[in-house]
A and B are shown apart, each in its own frame.
Chain A
Amino acid sequence: MRVDGLHSVFSESDDKSLLEHLESNNIEVHYHCREGYCGACRTKLNEGNVDYHIDPLAFIDDDEILPCCCKPTSDIDITLY
C-alpha cells in the first residue's frame, strides 16, 4: 500500500478497516462517523481496488473511497486530503 507516496503494509488476514489500519500506522486521517455516512474520511484512490463491508452512503467521487468501511483487495495507492 502506498499512502501519499510512502509505503505501508496491509496483511490480508487483517480484520481492520483501511481507516483502522492507517491509524495503527500513525497516519492521521480525518474521520467522524466511521460508518460510511458522513464522508469525513474521503480519500483518493489512485490505483488498486477495495471492498466495502458497509455500504457507503456519503458522497464519493468515482476515484474516491471511504477508508472507514472498506478493505483493500489489491495493492493500493491512495492520497489523503
Chain B
Amino acid sequence: MKYTTFNQESNDTMKEPMFFGSPVNVARYDQQKHPIFEKLIEKQISFFWRPEEVDVSKDRMDFQKLSDAERHIFTSNLKYQTLLDSVQGRSPNIAFLPIISIPELETWVETWSFFETIHSRSYTHILRNLFTDPSEIFDDIVVNEEIAKRATDISKYYDDLIFATQLWQTKGEGEHVVDGETHLITMRELKKKLYLCMNSVNALEAIRFYVSFACTFAFAERELMEGNSKIIRLIARDENIHLTSTQHVLNLWAKGKDDPEMAEIAAECHEEAKAIFLKAVQQEKEWAHYLFKNGSMLGLNEEILCQYVEYIANHRMAAIGMGQPFEIKSNPLPWMNNYLNSDNVQVAPQETEISSYLVGQIDSEVASDDFEAFEL
C-alpha cells in the first residue's frame, strides 16, 4: 500500500491498530486510542535540555590525569554511545513512521528520535572539549571492529523492516525479485519483522547503554569527568522513558490490547525475541571485556560490570514477560541508582537564569477591582 502524507479517506483512529492500519491524516490528540503515548510525549518534553547548558571545561584537566587504560575506557564508551544514538536518532523515524496508524504514537516516535539527536550533539560537545580535533574519535566509530560487531546487530532488524516496508509500499504483497534475490512480502511477514525490530530496539534501550553509564558514573564517584557525568545523567533519564515506550508497545501487543495478529506473532516469536535480548546481554559483557583489556579502573572491573548487566537484564526482561534468566538477585552497583534518580538530575531553570523559562508566566486572572486605582 502506497504511503500518503495525508490520507484523504476519513478514518476513525480509535479503531486503528498502532501499526499497519491506515496512514495517519489529522494530527489530533483530543481522542487517543493509547493515551500513554501522549503522556510520554509530555513527560519527555518536560525533560528538554541542551548540551551547552552543561559546563564540561573542567573535564579536560581531569582527562589529562587519567591513566591510558582509563582513557581507553572513557573514549571507547563515548564512541559506542555515539553509534547507538546515531542509529536511534534516525531509525525509529524511518522504520516506524511510514507504518504507524495512530497520531499519538506517530508524535511519540518523532519526539523520541528528536531527543536522541540531542544526545548525539552532546557527544560532539564533550569530545570538542577534550580533543583539539575530535575527528579521529568519530572516524574510528565506523572502522573499530568491536563497535562494528554491535552496529550490525543493532541496525539489521531496522534495515530488514525498512526494506520490506519499501517493497510493500511500492509493489504490494507477493514475491518480488530485487538484484536477483527473491523477497516474500506478506502482511504476516511484515508484522513479524516489526515485532523483532521492536524487540531489538527495546533491548538496545534497556541494556546497551548501561555498561557505558556505569563507567561514567564510576568516574564521577571519584569526582572525575563530572561535566560528562551530568550530561550522561540527562541522557540516562531520557533513555529510561524511551524504554518505557517500547515496553508499552510490546505489552500492548502481547496482551491482545492492540492488533490481535500481533498477539499471535508475539506468542509465536517469543523465543526468537528472547534470543535477541540475550544476545545483546552477551555483547554488552564482551564490551566490558574490551573496555578493561588494558586494565581496569578504580571502583569497577569486568566481573562486577557483567553482574550489573545481568541484574538489569533480569528486571527488564521480566517487564516484557521474558522471566528473569539470571541468578543474580541484588544490585552489584547500588550507587548507580543515585545517578539514575531524576531528583538528582533536575536543573531548576529559574536558578540558572534561562529566560525562556518565563515564557507564559502571565497572570491571567484580572478582577475588576484591579483597575480601581486607574482614572480616565
Contacts and interface: CB of A to CB of B under 8 A. Distances in A.
Interface in A39-74: 39-40, 42, 55, 57-59, 61
A42 B240 contact: no
Binding site secondary structure of chain A: loop
Contact of A57 (B36, B314, B330, B337): B36
B99 interface: no
Nearest to A28: B330
B331 interface: yes
B247 A33 contact: no
Contacts of A32: 240, 337, 340-341
Interface of A: 28, 30-35, 37-40, 42, 55, 57-59, 61, 81
Binding site secondary structure of chain B: helix
B32 interface: no
Contacts of A59: 244, 247-248, 251, 319
B43 interface: yes
Interface of B: 36, 39-40, 43, 237, 240-241, 243-244, 247-248, 251, 314-315, 318-319, 324, 330-331, 334, 337, 340-343
B214 to A, nearest CB: 13
A39 B319 CA distance: 8
19 contacts: A28-B334, A30-B331, A30-B337, A31-B337, A32-B340, A33-B240, A33-B341, A34-B342, A35-B343, A37-B40, A37-B244, A39-B247, A40-B315, A42-B315, A42-B318, A58-B247, A59-B244, A59-B319, A81-B318
A37 B43 CA distance: 8
Nearest to A42: B319
Contacts of A30: 315, 331, 337
A61 B257 CA distance: 13
A35 to B, nearest CB: 5
